[in-house]
Amino acid sequence: MVEPELDALARQLDAFTRDAEALVDGLSPEQGAREPAPGAWSVSECLDHLATANRVYLGAMREPARRGRERGRLRRRPAEPGWPGRLFIKMLEPPPKWWSTLKAPRKIRPRTAPPLADAFAAFIDSQRDVQAFLRENADLDLASIRFPNPFIKGIRFSLATGLHVTVVHEKRHLLQAWQARERVLSSSNADPRHDG
């Protein structure tokens, strides 16, 4: 993959995979599933949410990519979002803004306290799937092929926007997971009744 913007996305996905590996390293199953505060997502819930969101997003992107290939819509310009996509991505960038702290759509809300090992494995699998989609479709005109946003009815994004959204969404929730980890570990150290 020689296109610089796609290479940058692939590198970020690789970095997030390594980040998730470091995130779960040394966490007990109980610590990984523990809420850092009432109603706040645990480390495992953050990973479960990302795995589910990646699966749903890719599910919406695959058919338009297939149709684009059938129609010969090969790369004509960089795979960068247009201005509506850039605005949406800016909203997702951490730290959270008031308008982006709304509840996650129902179809991608995490399971309650999923086992840490399961959530981590699902996230890693979803990373492989996103990377595979990126490689397999790098020759398409990702900036012009559109797909229906699976969470906002009536909104269509370019595949390029979808890939950039996936990356910034991971950045956002991995940061949230690290914050959850720090709070859980600090409470474990302060309270000897907690294992870990």
CATH number for the domain including 82?
1.20.120.450
Question: Which domain, by its residues, includes 173?
Answer: 4-189
Q: Is residue 54 part of a domain?
A: yes
The burial class, CB within 10 Å (0-12 / 13-18 / 19+), for 190 is exposed
Strand pairing partners for 148?
A: 156
In a domain, 194, yes or no: no
Residue 196 lies in a domain: no
Within a domain: 83: yes
The secondary element (H helix, E strand) that includes residue 156 is strand 156-158
- Examine residue 195 and state whether it is found in any structural domain, yes or no: no
Q: Residue 194, class by beta-carbon neighbours within 10 Å (0-12 exposed, 13-18 middle, 19+ buried)?
A: middle
In a domain, 35, yes or no: yes
CA dist list (Å): 105 to 46, 69, 196? 14, 30, 33
Q: Is 18 exposed, middle or buried (0-12, 13-18, 19+ CB in 10 A)?
A: exposed
In a domain, 140, yes or no: yes
Tens-of-pLDDT digits for all 196 residues of the chain? Answer: 568 999 999 999 999 999 999 999 999 999 999 999 998 999 999 999 999 999 999 999 999 999 999 999 999 999 998 878 788 878 888 776 544 456 777 778 888 889 999 999 999 999 999 999 999 999 999 999 999 989 888 889 999 999 999 999 999 999 999 999 999 999 877 554 444 4
Work out how many domains the chain is built from and give that number: 1
